[in-house]
Chain A
Amino acid sequence: MSQTIAHPEASEVESSHGHHAELSFFRKYIWSEDHKTIAIQYLFTSLFFLLVGGLLAMGVRYQLAFPGVPVPIIGSFLPSWLVTSAGAIQPGGYNALFTMHATVMVFLVIMPLLIGVFGNFLIPLKIGAPDMAFPFFNALSYWLFLLSGIILLSSFFAPTGFPASGWTSYAPLSSHAQYNGTQIGQSCWCVGLFVNGLASIAGAANYITTVINMRAPGMKMFRLPLPIWALLITAFLLLLAVPVLSAAAAMLFCDLNFGTSFFSSSNYGQPLLWQHLFWFFGHPEVYIMIVPAMGLVSEIISVNSRKPIFGYKAMVFAMVAIGVLGFIVWGHHMFVSGMNLLLSATFSFSTMVIAVPSAIKTFNWMGTVWGGSIKYTTAMCFALAFVSMFVIGGLSGIYMAATPVDLFIHHTYFIVAHIHYVLFGGSLFGVFGAIYFWFPKMFGRMMNETWGKIHFALAFIFFNCTFFPMHNLGLNGMMRRIADPTQYEHLRSQQPVNIFITLSAFALGLSTIPFLINFFYSMFKGPKAPINPWKSTTLEWTVPWPTPHGNFETTPTVYHGPYEYSVPGMEEDYLPQNQPAPDTVRLAAH
């Protein structure tokens, strides 16, 4: 099959298209240009970063529950920018903790998990392509991503340590070393995000080119599985939003190191310019982190309800709408930043409007389970939970979209609750579901369902115990980003809640362990997976494992839409995309 894809002229890269046996270890595992291998590389790397980001979060939680209490055991080993001589986390160090927690989780965990892992793994397989359009840049993208991670975390060893001005790095705090006291860390932040951006852009251009140009015969746009639509739209968001952050990061870097005055309050610089540039990227960014999850979840729900997705086109248009509107709502992060009040009013309007497509998706998910024959696999549990958690996170978004209410809850734990319901209960639950769902195709073995259910139950319960009370904390006026709530009278009575949250957070962290064990055990010892364990209709389930380089023996032909389940008049309850419908049955859609 390699011959069928390798271009006659691409002689100088023939090797990369040869059969596995021909590949050197280096070409196979290190600099692999096979999208499947790259996906796995992304998977391991970002799971590692999840542990890093999570442990940072544990530090955050520890400090909030036990401010000023030396960290047991490890406390004395931590660097002096982070802890006092007694080993207690100090305020500056706390700022560094949540700054890197968020930066890691957003740029090194959620984005690569959703886009790097599932984008790479699923796009060619689902559209019936031999590989990505630009395998070289695909590999490059992974290594740039890893490099950015190293740059970001390397500042741990700088004498002044991690950057500490929040993942939003508001200037002039971030742009003046004498204010933030972490010149090296903050510079690493700028460079790291710039490199990370290059990786994202390389990936995005690659995905768009691939999906537009390399679909198998018969794979019309409206026959694309929803994850592919989601990833395509996400790729456009990345392509247009990320470079703006790169530009801003570059300006910030110059302010910080070359004494330019873009964001400084003197010399006619404008602190708010940073916020506008950051959030112009930042809001599309948050949709970048949810839309792919929506796509993955839609498919998992449809497959496990043995039912076509409800309102396929509505789902697609909703995601397109989210993508487009996502570019005109950034100001809702700046209602009370000193921005023109009229702008706040308009941004409030667009923010209300952008909630509509999410509503549409929610109702269509409900429509999909309606009348289904639901199989409660672990993947399905996570997918179903995603919907509920996303609704909670979304509804809390409505509070903030109302400017006067935001006036009260801006920068409180209400926001923190919102963040985590959409990003953890949303994005990360989606990722977990997707891992359980596609694991068989990635590693050729099944994950253990019982342990999966245990992981789900623990994660679901402790996630809610951790983050639901944060809504109340926020409404009680607990500010975010403060190292020691007990400094404030109106917050002292909250300490019990903070302690409860922290204990739940530890449990939530530990709940990841059954997952990790299950994951690695199943990789080697799990039962061998049949070619199509979930009786799924999409193309990736038609290829054997290990999937050869080039994926398909012969390019498949697609005859109908992706979710033809329980078609009346067929004894099998699913009709793969590459099988024409028997003349006896009529399909209800495209």
Chain B
Amino acid sequence: MLKQSSRTSLAFLAMVVLLLIASGVCGRAAVRTSDLWWMPEVASKGGVLIDKLTYFIYYLTGAVFVLTQVVYIYFLVKYRSRKGAKATYSHGNNRLELLWTGIPTAIFIGLWGYSNHLWWDVLHAPTPPDTMEVGVLAYQFGFSFQYPGADGKLGQSDVKLIGNDNIFGNDPNDPATKDNFQSSVLELPINKPVRVRLNSRDVIHAFYVPQFRVYQDIVPGRTIDWVWFTPTRLGSYQLACNQLCGSGHYNMKAQIEVVTQEDFDKWYKEKAAAAVIPAGNAPAQSK
């Protein structure tokens, strides 16, 4: 009995150690940011803050995990059954109960304070005056975007108006909408805050850009316009639909190009020249 049990207890120990190593691996990976092991390099202002919080929780939970498991495994080995050894007779200890109820409660509430503060700062902070607004329409299975055009205003839109000839549901009586132009690529100037006006014409889709640390479901029949972010790294990214929306969900994506202000202005002028959204060039009607 003794031999057998100690053998298995050690085997068990070995396995949990193996697990600790596994988590250690990504602990090290946290240091070097290679794609294969860790988060894609952050490319937006808010993302930096979110990463801070993520790391905070990472170290917090990491510490909790290592602490609890080390103590736990120590007990498992130390108190494996041996000849003659009898278990201590104890029904518990109220002081300890209070301790390990109180401390986690404090930690959790504190953590909530931190994360909630960030929640409002990232999401609810009023957008800066120089924010550019871009209209986003999601459909089975793709995205299309509309830009404010020369006047820099998207103008009024209403989901009820969304249809094949007016895919963004722009209000025809609002002059600001007249010069809006459409694009299939989400072209963004660097370091300029952008707010997206999200609409869907069929099912729920999502606006997900891991590098920006941005996610928002796009709900049909509603306009969601509280998502804004500030790209901080040049380059091309992929906008991914990350809400199951049917058989084409797996590759419902769009190109995002973060470019210098100059390049952006150039691109914008050309597009704006083409002006109004040509009627009828609606995305393929969702089957």
Contact = CB atoms under 8 A, between A and B. Distances in A.
In the complex, A touching B (Cβ < 8 A): yes
B116 A181 contact: no
B204 A173 contact: yes
Contact of B217 (A337, A359, A461, A481): A337
A181 B247 contact: yes
A415 to B, nearest CB: 11
A309 B71 CA distance: 18
A403 interface: yes
B87 A573 contact: yes
Given A369-B72, A369-B79, A464-B22, A408 B215 contact: yes
A566 B96 contact: no
B65 to A, nearest CB: 6
A484 B250 CA distance: 6
B115 A348 contact: yes
Interface in A407-435: 407-408, 410-412
Interface string A347-387: 01100110110011011101101111111100001001101
A113 B71 CA distance: 31
B119 A404 contact: yes
Given A479-B208, A566-B87, A388 B119 contact: no
B1 to A, nearest CB: 8
A311 interface: yes
Contacts of B86: 306, 373, 566, 573
A334 to B, nearest CB: 9
A interface residue count range (under 10 / 10 to 19 / 20 to 34 / 35 or more)? 35 or more
Interface string A74-114: 00000000000000001110110000000000000000000
A306 B250 contact: no
Nearest to B79: A372
A376 B57 CA distance: 34
Contacts of B244: 95, 165-166, 170, 173, 481
A165 B244 CA distance: 7
A211 to B, nearest CB: 23
Contacts of A165: 244
Interface string A116-132: 00000000000000000
A353 B219 contact: no
B243 A170 contact: yes
B151 to A, nearest CB: 29
B108 A336 contact: no
Interface string A167-200: 0001011001011110000000000000000000
A349 B238 contact: no
B interface residue count range (under 10 / 10 to 19 / 20 to 34 / 35 or more)? 35 or more
Interface stretch (B35-43, B129-137, B175-183, B257-265): B35-43
Contact of B12 (A384, A493, A497, A567): A384
B279 interface: no
Nearest to A488: B238
B192 interface: no
B100 A493 contact: no
A13 interface: no
Contacts of A481: 244, 249
B273 interface: no
A582 interface: no
A271 interface: yes
Contacts of A477: 39-40, 210-211
Interface string B244-287: 11111111010000000000000000000000000000000011
Given A461-B15, A464-B19, A490 B40 contact: yes
Given A271-B204, A403-B116, A395 B65 contact: yes
A178 B245 CA distance: 12
A405 B50 contact: yes
A8 interface: no
Contacts of B85: 373
B49 interface: yes
Interface stretch (B142-150, B165-173, B220-228): B220-228
Nearest to B97: A314
A398 B248 CA distance: 32
Interface in B1-47: 4-5, 8-9, 11-12, 15-16, 18-19, 22-23, 26, 29, 35-40, 47
Contacts of B104: 355-356, 359-360
Given A402-B57, A479-B242, A588-B89, A172 B249 contact: no
A173 B220 CA distance: 11
Contacts of B92: 308-314, 364, 367
A324 interface: no
Given A172-B203, A338-B219, A398 B22 contact: no
A271 B36 contact: no
Interface in A458-491: 460-461, 464, 468, 471-472, 475-477, 479, 481-484, 487-490
Nearest to A494: B36
Contacts of B82: 373
B123 interface: yes
In the A-B complex, the 3 residue pairs with the closest CB atoms: A477-B210, A265-B221, A265-B220
5 contacts: A181-B246, A373-B80, A374-B80, A395-B64, A565-B89
Interface of B: 4-5, 8-9, 11-12, 15-16, 18-19, 22-23, 26, 29, 35-40, 47, 49-50, 53-54, 57-58, 60-61, 64-65, 68-69, 71-72, 75-76, 79-82, 85-93, 96-97, 100-101, 104-105, 108-109, 111-112, 114-116, 118-120, 122-124, 140, 159, 200, 202-204, 206, 208, 210-211, 213-222, 224, 226, 238, 240, 242-251, 253, 286-287
Given A91-B247, A265-B219, A477-B210, 19 more contacts: A91-B250, A310-B90, A310-B92, A349-B109, A359-B100, A366-B72, A367-B93, A369-B76, A373-B82, A376-B5, A381-B8, A399-B61, A402-B114, A403-B115, A404-B119, A411-B243, A468-B19, A493-B36, A494-B36
Interface of A: 90-92, 94-95, 164-166, 170, 172-173, 176, 178-181, 264-266, 269-272, 305-314, 336-338, 341, 344-345, 348-349, 352-353, 355-356, 359-360, 362-364, 366-367, 369-376, 381, 384-385, 387-388, 391-392, 395-396, 398-399, 401-405, 407-408, 410-412, 453, 457, 460-461, 464, 468, 471-472, 475-477, 479, 481-484, 487-490, 493-494, 496-497, 565-568, 573, 588-589
